[in-house]
Every structure is written in C-alpha cells, then in structure tokens.
Structure 1
Amino acid sequence: MIPFQNAWPYETIMGDLYVSSCPFCDEENVLLPLKRTELPDIQDGKKRLLVLPCCHNKMTLIDADHDYLLTDRPLSKRTQFK
C-alpha cells in the first residue's frame, strides 16, 4: 500500500508540471523542474532527485501516476491530506 503522506498532487498544464503549493515554503503555483517525458522512467523504478525552485528543498521521487508524485519521505504536516 502506498503511504499517502508521501504523495504529492501535481497538474500538467501545456506540457509543464506544476504543483498548487510547495510542501515546504507554501509558494503557490510552482513550476517543477521535471519534464513530462521523465515520468515513465520514474514509474519504471528510476529514482529522481527533485530540487524545488522556490525554496531549494530536495526530495527524491520514487514513483508517479497521472495525479500524484510519490516521494521517499513524508511531506510537511501542513500539506497532508485530510
């Protein structure tokens, strides 16, 4: 079972990947330094270090689907889903 506290929702807009808010600094509408073409590699098990452009915090992506990125650690408590 996937730990939902490690999941982070994202959106694809015009081929770019965005998150509605950063889980670390709460910056809104963050453009991720990740290409949509990299998602299949992540889904196949290739880990990807993601450095957020807003606050330079790092997380490792270990899986992805059409709506969520799965990280190797729980995200900030303020972004956990209820």
Structure 2
Amino acid sequence: MIPFQNTWPYETIKEDTYVFECPFCQSRNVLIPLRPKDFAAIRSGAKKLLVFPCCYNKVTVLDADSDYLLADQPLRKPPITK
C-alpha cells in the first residue's frame, strides 16, 4: 500500500510542472524542475532527486502518476489524533 503522507499533488501545463504549495516552506505555485521526459523515466523505475527552488529542500521522487508524486519521505503532516 502506498503511504499517502509521502505523496504530493502536482500539475503539468505544457512543458512546465507546478506544485500548488511547497510541502516545506508553503510557497504557492512553485515551478519544479521536472519535465515530461523525467516523468517517463520515473514511471519506468528511475529515481529522481527533486530540489524545490523556493527553499532548496530535497526529496527523492520514487514514482509518479498523472496527479501525484511519490517521495521517499513524508511530505504531509500526520493527522492529529485525540
């Protein structure tokens, strides 16, 4: 099962890939350095180092579908339980 906390949504417009919000610094509409050829390699099993240009935090992208990136570390905060 894929851990949901390790996923982050993205959007591709033409050749550019954006995340709506950086998971580290919460900057909005961040252009990330991933191109369509990178996604083809990621989907075929290659890992890709992703450095967010807004705050220079790094994650390794393990997989991607058409909506979400799967990283090697949690990108979401765990839910608060009482």
Task: With the length of structure 2 as denominator, give the TM-score of the two structures.
Answer: 0.90
Shift of 1:36: 1.5
User: Mind listing any 5+ residue stretches in structure 1 that lack a counterpart?
Assistant: none
Separation in structure 2 between the aligned mates of residue 70 and residue 76 of structure 1, nearest angstrom: 11
Q: CA deviation digits over 1:14-60, x for unaligned, max 9?
A: 22100000000000000001111210110111000001000000000
Q: Matched residue of 2:34: which SS?
A: strand
What's the % identity of the aligned pairs? 59
Does structure 1 retain, via aligned residues, the 8 Å contact 2:11–2:67? yes
**What does residue range 11-50 of structure 1 map to in structure 2 within 5 Å?**
11-50=11-50
Q: Number of residue pairs matched?
A: 79
**Larger Rg over CA atoms:** 2
Alignment of 1:55 onto 2:42 = no
Q: Aligned partner of 2:38: which letter?
A: E
Partner Cα separation in structure 1 for residue 69 and residue 29 of structure 2: 16
Shift of 1:76: 4.1
* 8 A contact 2:39–2:64 mirrored in 1: yes
| Structure 1 residue runs of 4 or more that deviate by more than 4 Å after TM superposition | none
Query: Which residue does the alignment assign to 2:8?
Result: 8
Letter of the 1:12 partner, please give it.
T
Q: Is the 8 A contact 1:22 1:30 kept in 2?
A: yes
Paired with 1:40 and 1:3, the residues of 2 have a C-alpha distance of: 22
Aligned partners of 1:57 and 1:6: how far apart in 2? Answer: 15
